[in-house]
Structure 1
Amino acid sequence: MVLAFGARLALAPLLGTSATFVFFVLAVVFTAARIGIGPAIFASVIGGLVATYAFVPPAFTFSDPDKLTNALAFLAICAAVILFAWRTLAQRTQYEEREEKLVSEAREYRLIDAAQDFAIYELDREGRILTWNKGAERLKGWKAEEIIGKPYNILHTPESRATNAPGRELKIAAQTGRFEEQAPRMRKDGTIFAAHVSLFPMRDQNGDVTGFVKVTRDISDRSQAGKAILESRRRMEAIVQSAMDGIITFDEDLRIVVFNPAAERIFGYTAGEVLGSQVTMLFPEASRQRQGQRFRDFFTSGDVNRPLDGADSTVALRKSGEEFPIEASMSQVTVSGERVGTIILRDITDRKTNEEARALLAREVDHRAKNALAVAQALVGLTKADTVEEFGESIRGRIASLARAHTLLSQSQWRGAPLEQLIRDEILPYAKELQLTLQGPEVSCSAAAVQSLSLLFHELATNAVKHGALGSQDGHVDIEWKLASSAMIVSWKERGGPRVLPPKRQGFGTKLLRQVTGRQLDADLNFDWNPEGLGVEIRLPRELFLRAGSGSSPDDATPELPQARATGDERRILVVEDEELVALELSSELSRLGWAIVGPAATLAEAQALLSHGVDAAVLDVNLRGRPIYPVAEALRARHVPFLFCTGYEMVDPEGRFANVPVIRKPAHPAAVSAALSDLLKSRAH
């Protein structure tokens, strides 16, 4: 300002009263540009006063009104100059600050990228990755272009993601200003390393969180803590991964966080399919709500462990929708202030099946043993002989035949028996190998036919010993069988024995042959009383036989329905029994005791058909060739016909539908059956 005054004063002789304020305006511009806005304002005021007072005539006075106008105009020009200078200085300052910031950020990025041992990256408020330094690429294995924009929980282990640990980290950092821990983290290739992680929030001018900065350092080999973390995890993983039992861990929100390989095999899910899902999904839908409440109650109970029991807790659900039995226990621990539950379980389907099979086997063994005794009892009751010796010999032979049949069935686990072996076993006790010729294809007979066929060939063999070819040293028996389209045809031919004469009466042996073959096997039996030797042709249903290796035995053939044998006003009793000898003895003895027999029926279809004949009572075997008698029992009850069970089973009806029905255990005496029938009819009359 002094220079402006001096210059104007020096040029006063030349300029006179013109350009009074020019030098002072220039001084204000210079002051604003070089010194600042404040000094420029001060220079404006001083310059206006000096210029007006010293150079506007009349000089050295303010009495002229035009002087005030000129001074105000000067001040307005100076104000415009100062405002322009202020705006220019502000823009320059902003530019310099921006340049400085860019330089600073570039310096920071260079420093961050130079930190090769640290993964340093920025997150937005939702946890998506915004920046990614070189150290992060080296430590995590992800390139910047692969990872930026992804949620940062991808860097956590599956168990950590399942418990929403990444979300809790962000929450804690936002609330406290920092989150820090040492824990396992995962690389792109799935490998796990021990990490020291720090998480810091970034805030705006209002203090609101705008994002986060995450710093991660690999401490796997650099500290005892890191080594301990990895070693602990390796031990736990080895235990969990190799366990034969399913191990399932879940958090307080019931989200699954661990699902080991055994659990994958048991349930059919992969770990990736269930991690983070509700643990109740592994139980049937009907029990999920109760199961969830049971888990929550366990967390609040304070119990360390307890068995997982209860009807709905011992049944789980596979991915396929199959329900299956389990044996399980659950426990809980507190980790980093949070409770975690673990279920250890095993699939006991095979055990249950084996237990049920053993129980069934025990029942079947008991049933078959009693049936065998009942058959033996029937043989004793039906066998007739002139002397005690003949009686004993007949009984011993027939019981031995039954024993051989049961041996064959046992050897094949009750699947049947080879026909040739069955024939040999029954005939060779009474003949030499040279006296026997067997010819036919390799076939097996069904389990249901073994006992009856054994008795059939036993009777033929003993008859040949007493009256035919096997009673002579030179005698011979030729047996041939062949499979036709609808039948198995067995031919028995004797030669070399005494002259054959037709019998004058039908003995028990012949009656037994016809009863066994005709009823139980649904067979045709034709005798040829050739004087040179007895011939017998036996036609059996083809369904009773299978070629060797062709599969399991077929269902029993259904024989022609028996005829009701009741007459007059006798009390009509339906007899249902699939063991023909037992049925024969029971029917004969009940008939002798005054009962009229309807049947006997050997199959479910026969029994149902005979109901139409009208009966007063019934005796029912429980198992008819593998099928339960319950439909017939239901039909009898619907008709208000009293009945009783005669069976070898200890448990007749597991469901308890016939709890009040009398049961007589085999082997049963016909007189006991008769007495029970009388009691039934008396009760009905009352």
Structure 2
Amino acid sequence: MDIEKPAAPQYTLQDRYQLLVEGIVDYAIYMLDPTGVVTSWNRGAQRIKGYADYEIIGEHFSRFYTYEDRTTGLPARALAIAETEGRFEQEGWRVRKDGSLMWAHVLIDPIRSEDGTLLGFAKVTRDLSEQQATKEALRQSEQRFRLLVQGVQDYAIYMLDPNGQVTSWNKGAQRFKGYSDEEIIGEHFSRFYTDEDRLSERPATALRTAAQAGRFEAEGWRVRKDGSRFWANVVIDPIRGEHGELVGFAKITRDITERRDAQLALEETRARFIQSQKMEAIGQLTGGVAHDFNNLLAVILGNLNLALKRLPPDPKLRQLIDNSIQAADRGATLTKRMLAFARRQELSTTPVDVPDLIRGMSDLLQRSIGANIPVGMHFPLKLPRVLADANQLELVVLNLCVNARDATPAGGTITLVAREAFITAEDVRGLKPGNYVCLSVIDTGEGMDAETLAKAAEPFFTTKGVGKGTGLGLSMVHGFAEQSGGRLILKSTKGQGTTAELWLPEADLGNAPQTEQQPEDELPRLDPVTALVVDDDALVLMNTTAMLEDLGHTVVEATSGEQALRILRRSKGTIDLVITDQMMPGMTGTQLVEAIRTEHPDMVAILASGYTELPEDTLIPVTRLTKPFGQSELALALVTSLRPEGFALPVRPKLP
């Protein structure tokens, strides 16, 4: 008996289209009525946008747009363009159900009846977030590479075709070869070689070696446009296509004429210079560590001072907090020394109490010198202050004591003595008439003969072995003394030790710059303001917020420059000022201030940083706040920024 098979389901053309649309998961395909309300929803739309059909049908499609796009009326314009022009197409940010953003390609087509009546719109959206991220990363990478190559001025970086014709030319090549890109592109690179090298076919040999061995490197004479010669280091690398075919060469040339001359004439000096370069690298590392330490100290000092205000009347507890503040202040002082060593600390000349300064660094001196050499100090009960940079003076004292230690390898003593002196007439030492303080570092070490003593303060001169000294120590002390209006005087006898006298002029306290800040109780009070605080360090951000709120102000927080800009755009003028950190990833504080001023020209800004390496030539006026700062410094910065005509703050002046 035959079993009758069930008839296959019959689908109309409309059913087939419906199944097709519903089966697509890589595109959001849905319908809108003429007003923009969603009337259908496929599986692709649910996957990409996150809404189930029952959640979104009947809702207006503008909810997929960002707040900024809705504010500018983009959804309504999109429908109007589609209706009038027959199509709307765009790429831009769209919002998923969970609030995340995606980069979308959008098509909107009008749907009309046979008589032309608008029935609604068909909307197709594709998520291009991954493609956009890849494209943007590639664009930024290419842009950075172009900027890198064009910005390098110490190297000639250019391209050659397989025959050796120049196809690109950077600023470094123009600077020390003398040709502009219009003059040299299309010319053969052999014109940079000497006649002797061209006769021996060295240019062709260089390209052949690079193509066969994968690299060519050499040093030799090269010729500038004006005919002069320079000694060059040359590297040539082959550039190959996807299938290994040779498409050209990358050529890097560096003018090392000075280095070659120094190698020929002063090989020993060159070795010491390399040592000084290593010290510079250590200084950069020290500066980076000090920057992070500054942030930690800012949090500690800020929180301790806020806690001190809220302490119950318990003398022992207050003493503990006071001791902690003193320890944190000592840490801040240490940080300043580290930044000064790294040349990232803004230095200023102030009245300095020499005995107090040396006593404050006594532990550091003893650790640096070692326990086997006793250090004595002899200071009068009262000594005038000197006008000097305290951080630099500390480094000078440390340098002189370390030199004294190295001069007493068999043991001995080091003594620091200070005295007041008055010079009535310019003497043989070059000191002008006036009041001075003479600080002497006296050791009982090996001493120097007359010939060595005459050269001791010359740059790069040292009696220490290779790698044990740069020969810059005493010359730096000499320069510091000269710039401070004083002198470095060395006295020594072979076998009888050395005395280094540092003469510094007394400070005129009536005209000396004042750095002491106004006590917090005397600070002018401001009406409550709303401040946007920006810092990528959560601890610093919380501490700054706490200090501002304790002063009665309202705080809005942001952890990046980009977030701060978004907050300002939504604030509708409710934010009075911005306080931003400088060293932040993505967007620095100076970049943020410049971006803010393009949209809010009158916005008050305060820049917090422990560094002085800021782009002063491009930065618009802004008050600076040095890290680590306390509540009093913060309050003074607020008053200076918001009421500059009524209160003068002794801080770094605003930039022009």
TM-score, with structure 2 as normaliser: 0.28
Structure showing greater Rg: 1
Higher relative contact order (CA 8 A, sep 6+): 2
TM-score, with structure 1 as normaliser: 0.27
Could you say which structure has the higher helix fraction?
Answer: 1
